[in-house]
Amino acid sequence: MSHHFYQSEYEYRQVMSEPKINKCACGYDPNNDLLDCFRKVNRYSETSRLVCPEHNGGCGVWVQGSTKDETIAKWNRQEYEKPEDY
């Protein structure tokens, strides 16, 4: 869990409580597993990435933003990046 930069699911949910994250266009709900779906790109930056994880039944699309709010806004507008083999 160290690559997520949060100590617990509770702490992560406190940070991510607002704004609301919509389901992916494929139907996957990232709110069910925020520790796997949402993370900072690195510990020294506010840049974050939200993914729809294929290993959990998602489609593999992702968004990246310079802040948490920007990332969530891009996700909610479905401004997805797609994997190479999408």
Predicted confidence (pLDDT) per residue in 13-72, tens digit: 666 556 789 999 999 999 888 888 888 888 888 899 999 999 999 999 999 999 888 999
Question: Which residue has tokens 């790109």?
Answer: 41
Residue range of the domain that includes 65: 2-76
Q: Are 81 and 61 in contact (CB under 8 A)?
A: yes
Establish if 23 belongs to a structural domain: yes
Establish if 82 belongs to a structural domain: no
- pTM for the full predicted model: 0.74
Establish if 68 belongs to a structural domain: yes
Number of domain units in the chain: 1
What whole-number distance in Å separates Cα of residue 47 and Cα of residue 28?
23
Establish if 7 belongs to a structural domain: yes
Establish if 84 belongs to a structural domain: no
